[in-house]
Structure 1
């Protein structure tokens, strides 16, 4: 594809993240900032949540109290100093994902929405 005369005059071409082929393919200019969790981080998060629950200072009936994410962030910083996990959004979103996944597995194994799967 040839350059527009104005672009040719100004010496501008396509940005480095845009490909010029027969078909217009545009590469994502703003790649997702979604963080990839590794197994070590998952294990540390679950271990810290279990410790936090066992200590009992952040427990209510069936949930954690309001400030538990900040305490969890401090605990994980000691265990994984270079992970740079923040209470919001990293821990909040990961815990939400874990809850969703756990609910799916629990429903599968308890037989709630299936016929004797587990």
Structure 2
């Protein structure tokens, strides 16, 4: 690849990493600021999974920019996507278990929207 293409790909990777990190930080702030468990779970699940998605895409783009051979790139990209899918499944399962535990402990939520 030419020098200009590498610089553009580096800028794309940096941009994707920054966006991903911002989503993770916002999810963490939601975890710290929201008042109850369901809203905290929602903030962490949505923001962190989206942030991890941006980070995985950045790593795949960086791998494509650094490695020239095709088969190695496919393997690395598949592993990174598998990590993301497992994180998505883990977050969904964890959120479901935590919300179910709170529901059993406190009863069903009120039908009015809460406070």
Please, what TM-score do these two structures have when normalized by structure 2?
A: 0.31
Kindly indicate whether structure 1 or structure 2 has the higher relative contact order, using CA contacts under 8 Å at least 6 residues apart.
2
